Structure 1
């Protein structure tokens, strides 16, 4: 498991920006999370993201919020 150190300032800036984006609803937020966190910034791997997304889909409640919480915890 690779551990990536992410500056708190960068993480706070991204999560605040994502929190204000409501275009597309949860599906849009999940797509933005994937593009930014996996593809652009490489904070987590594709495999980690997909596993987390699959797990969040099984749980009751808002998937985008659960996924953001998990990614934040991993960081």
Structure 2
């Protein structure tokens, strides 16, 4: 999943440097914009067939690759449990 997230960051969040970033690196400090995070969220929802609830629509939820992966995994697990 990390590879997919990195590819999506490059494609949808205009962050080509994502491939070389540490999983805990701050994506906003690396150049991701708020608009890019929204584009990324929409791509994640489409790719993983999940929906981000309102309480996760914040800067922290998209701040690092590790947090994004953890959040998507939780959303997928919640969907499968339902």
TM-score with structure 2 length normalisation?
0.38
Q: Specify which structure has the higher proportion of helix.
A: 1
TM-score with structure 1 length normalisation?
0.40
